[in-house]
Amino acid sequence: MRSVFPLGDNETESDGHAMNESTRLHLGAAYYPEHWPEARWPEDLRLMREAHMTVVRMGEFAWSTMEPEPGAVRLDWLDRAVDLAAKAGLVAVLGTPTAAPPAWLSTPEVLAVDDKGRPVQFGNRCHYCVHSPELHAATRRIVGAMAERFGPNPDVVGWQIDNEFNRVCYCDRCRAEFQRFLKRKFGTLDDLNAHWSTAYWSQTYSDWKQIPIPIGGHNPGLMLEFKRFVTASYRAFQKLQIDLLRPKLRPGVWITHNFMKWFDGYDHYAMSEDLDLASWDWYVGSGHHDYLNDGAAHDLVRGFKQRNFWIMETQPGSVNWRDVNNALNRGEARVMAWHAVAHGADAIAYWQWRSALGGQEQYHGTLVDQSGRPRPFYDEAKELGDDFAKVRDLLAGSTIHCDTALLHSYDSCWSIRGQKHHKEFDYIWHLLGYYRPVAARNVGVDIVSAEAPVDGYALVVAPALVLLSEERAARLAGFVKGGGHLVLTVRTGMKDDYNALLPARQPGGLTEAAGVEVEECYALRNPVPVAGPWLKGTSTTWAERLRVLDTGQTEILVRFGACNGWLDDQPAITVHPYGKGRVYYVGACLDAAAQQILIDHIVADAGVEPVPATPDGIEARKRTATDGREIFIVINHEREEKQVTLPWAARDHLTDRDVQGTLSLRPYGVAVLTKADGKG
Ligand code: GAL
């Protein structure tokens, strides 16, 4: 059997428990036994099991219970909780508790400092300085003890390091560490000064100690390196914990961190390199689920390790931290769960199981209320548990394969967010503008690092890849030469790896492949008209005036209409053959309708097929089983009954019925299908 996770050196297929647990579909919740009398635990675990839950996550904020005073480590209670969970049929994921250093550890040496120079107040979370030696020593003690105690435990199948790393510390120690980081990277101040153009405004550094941590706007080179430094800092703290755990863990037991979708505080690709599994915490907050945007977040996280992921937290109805903490509609959380699975999630874990009587999150949604009885939402989770039980074997080990890749780059995101040039131009907004129309056609997308190899894809979309190193340009040009279709968009290829402008016109190293160069870019106050033979619409926010270089070969697909004089009748969107492939340059930010037309054209040109086409509001995605069998997950994201015409006869594994021709989906209905061609 091919596992989602590569087997370790000394691991065999039959090693069992932990490895199998990582690839099968799980339902679970975050549970905090430390909040409750031990006599209550069996009832909570019974209710979990009755909802067909299979996993429970514990421990991630329990440091003060695990170590009430320095060195007095007490893990017996957690051992008993893991054991009771196992007896109830649930495996455990344990979190290291470092996101919540206890009061005794929250000394001036450990507390982070905010950007106004004030120590962060104790009593919330993530209040530590990630470089604090005192924190590191205490982390070694508690994580080391957990590793000793639970590493060999067959009922612990995975570990989460810390919880949602997110803080930036501005203390003197971090500043000194930043200076050391820069010295390691640049070697000499001359080199740093040259890359950052520090003669500008007399920023020239003559001593490493002069270099500040940027607060607000600063030199673009400095700002970019600070983000890289924050990445390196959290990666080192995460690695410190991984190194304590790994030698003690049984083969196949995985280590993850729970990320927050598009959070840009650090480079998630770099952070994920040391992890076995990526996971993320999916909150809608206020309002409702938007499957085209949320699908991008799943595909993003699947791309961190280029394999299936876990939803480590999601809201059981409502949260407590928005202006209006509305509940999801009845049935909405169930389709959300299926939508995540359709995009490669192997687990859905609700946050949290039961409302704590005290603490900051008293009003957050839960499955069991303050009285200890199930809330109405519990029944929806139970229905989901029932669904999962029906298809667990079918989905075990299944993976997702796409012909289209969308490139994501943290450095380009940081660069643009640091200098937006148009207040409404956001890197992620722009990326989603390319994701949504592709996803709306049921075309599977891998969102991968701009550093990832792209050979094998038919279509690669590289939105606003402003930082274009020579390697990136060469890799993408090679992809096109080999027959790939590449889409470049506004702001591409302006800068080098140090956030300095390239001494060349856009798109830098991809100019020859694109067959055009950008003569000028314009931040737009008002939409400008664009038109071509098969597309008419507007460009908002941004427009680039293109000059055709390869006049014999470059096709002008769309031109700007009359507007500011500079853009009037100039090329806006082009396509250029290069090697065996083609490069589109999109110098406009089209309105949604025009963007859909453009994307439909490009997808068809690249020969990418949808996973069958469905009406609006219905999503169809495909996972491929270990034996090659195709599994289709079809989801009605709307609150009215819908019909889908299937191109083949199928078996619905949730209803255990055959479907011929038309599939009817109830409001928020889901079907898990295999083709009825003998292989189903
Ligand atoms: C997450 C966090 C959880 C819980 C949740 C509430 O960001 O990881 O511990 O606080 O938010 O929505």
The predicted-structure confidence for 157-216, as pLDDT tens digits, reads as follows 999 999 999 999 999 999 999 999 999 999 999 999 999 999 999 999 999 999 999 999
Look at residue 677 and tell me whether its pLDDT is greater than 80: no
User: Residue with the nearest Cα to atom 6 of ligand 1?
Assistant: 319
**pLDDT score of 579:** 98
Q: Are residues 31 and 139 in the same domain?
A: yes
Catalytic residue among 21, 60, 177, 313, which?
313
Q: Which residue is it, tokens 């990320």?
A: 259
Query: Is the CB of residue 162 less than 8 Å from the CB of residue 275?
Result: no
Q: Are residues 178 and 302 in the same domain?
A: no
C-alpha 281 – ligand 1 centre gap (Å): 8
Q: pTM of the prediction?
A: 0.96
- Taking all residues of the chain, what is their mean pLDDT, rounded to a whole number? 95
Query: Is the CB of residue 489 less than 8 Å from the CB of residue 463?
Result: yes
Query: Is the CB of residue 120 less than 8 Å from the CB of residue 106?
Result: no
User: Is 2 a member of any domain?
Assistant: no
Q: Are residues 454 and 382 in the same domain?
A: no
CA of 320, closest atom in ligand 1: 12
Q: Is 164 a catalytic residue?
A: yes
Per-residue confidence at 505, pLDDT binned at 50, 70, 90? very high
**377-407, pLDDT tens digit by residue?**
999 999 999 999 999 999 999 999 999 999 9
Q: Are residues 310 and 269 in the same domain?
A: yes
Q: Are residues 86 and 159 in the same domain?
A: yes
Mean pLDDT calculated for residue range 534-540: 98
**pLDDT score of 8:** 31
User: Is 455 a member of any domain?
Assistant: yes
User: Residue with the nearest Cα to atom 1 of ligand 1?
Assistant: 281
C-alpha 361 – ligand 1 centre gap (Å): 9
**Listed residues 344, 370, 395: the one ending a domain:** 395
Mean pLDDT calculated for residue range 335-343: 98
User: Residue with the nearest Cα to atom 5 of ligand 1?
Assistant: 351
Per-residue confidence at 21, pLDDT binned at 50, 70, 90? low
Domain with residue 498: its CATH number is: 3.40.50.880
**655-669, pLDDT tens digit by residue?**
999 999 899 999 999
Per-residue confidence at 24, pLDDT binned at 50, 70, 90? confident
C-alpha 358 – ligand 1 centre gap (Å): 15
Q: Are residues 270 and 355 in the same domain?
A: yes
Q: Are residues 367 and 435 in the same domain?
A: no
Mean pLDDT calculated for residue range 552-568: 97
**pLDDT score of 22:** 60
Mutate to test the pocket of ligand 1, among 361, 362, 363, 366 (most ligand atoms within 8 A of CB): 361
Per-residue confidence at 501, pLDDT binned at 50, 70, 90? very high
Listed in sequence order, the residues at least 6 apart from 175 whose beta carbon sits closer than 8 Å to its beta carbon are: 211, 212, 213
Look at residue 18 and tell me whether its pLDDT is greater than 50: no
Query: Is the CB of residue 408 less than 8 Å from the CB of residue 303?
Result: yes
Query: Is the CB of residue 628 less than 8 Å from the CB of residue 634?
Result: no
Q: Which residue is it, tokens 């086409």?
A: 613
User: Is 218 a member of any domain?
Assistant: no
User: Is 3 a member of any domain?
Assistant: no
Q: Whole-angstrom Cα distance, residue 647 to residue 207?
A: 69
CA of 315, closest atom in ligand 1: 12
Mean pLDDT calculated for residue range 232-241: 98
Nearest Cα to Cα of residue 92 among 276, 347, 471: 347
Q: Whole-angstrom Cα distance, residue 476 to residue 455?
A: 9
Q: Is 471 a catalytic residue?
A: no
Per-residue confidence at 300, pLDDT binned at 50, 70, 90? very high
Q: Whole-angstrom Cα distance, residue 156 to residue 300?
A: 27
C-alpha 465 – ligand 1 centre gap (Å): 32
Compute CA 437 distance to the chain's CA centroid, rounded to the nearest angstrom: 19
User: Residue with the nearest Cα to atom 4 of ligand 1?
Assistant: 351
User: Residue with the nearest Cα to atom 12 of ligand 1?
Assistant: 319
Domain count, the chain: 4
**pLDDT score of 16:** 41
**Listed residues 376, 395, 414: the one ending a domain:** 395
Q: Are residues 31 and 178 in the same domain?
A: no
C-alpha 84 – ligand 1 centre gap (Å): 25
User: Is 321 a member of any domain?
Assistant: yes
User: Is 437 a member of any domain?
Assistant: yes
Range of the domain at 662: 618-675
C-alpha 371 – ligand 1 centre gap (Å): 22
Mutate to test the pocket of ligand 1, among 313, 321, 354, 366 (most ligand atoms within 8 A of CB): 313
C-alpha 183 – ligand 1 centre gap (Å): 37
Catalytic residue among 21, 60, 67, 164, which?
164
Domain with residue 352: its CATH number is: 3.20.20.80
Nearest Cα to Cα of residue 272 among 295, 242, 316: 242
**DSSP characters over 439-462:** HTTT--EEEEETTS--TT-SEEEE
Q: What residue ranges line ligand 1, CB within 6 angstroms?
A: 163-164, 281, 283, 313, 319, 351, 361, 364
Q: Are residues 132 and 266 in the same domain?
A: yes
Mean pLDDT calculated for residue range 623-645: 97
Look at residue 5 and tell me whether its pLDDT is greater than 50: no
User: Is 263 a member of any domain?
Assistant: yes
Per-residue confidence at 620, pLDDT binned at 50, 70, 90? very high
CA of 260, closest atom in ligand 1: 7
C-alpha 380 – ligand 1 centre gap (Å): 21
Mutate to test the pocket of ligand 1, among 58, 164, 351 (most ligand atoms within 8 A of CB): 351
**pLDDT score of 1:** 23
Q: Are residues 461 and 528 in the same domain?
A: yes
User: Residue with the nearest Cα to atom 10 of ligand 1?
Assistant: 361
Q: Whole-angstrom Cα distance, residue 246 to residue 232?
A: 20
User: Is 42 a member of any domain?
Assistant: yes
Per-residue confidence at 12, pLDDT binned at 50, 70, 90? very low
Each residue of 495-519: b (16+ CB within 10 Å) or e?
Answer: bbebbbebeebbbbbbbebbbbbbe
Query: Is the CB of residue 592 less than 8 Å from the CB of residue 539?
Result: no
Per-residue confidence at 10, pLDDT binned at 50, 70, 90? very low
Domain with residue 638: its CATH number is: 2.60.40.1180
**pLDDT score of 6:** 29
**Listed residues 212, 244, 277: the one ending a domain:** 212
**pLDDT score of 678:** 54
Q: Are residues 456 and 559 in the same domain?
A: yes
Q: Are residues 355 and 445 in the same domain?
A: no
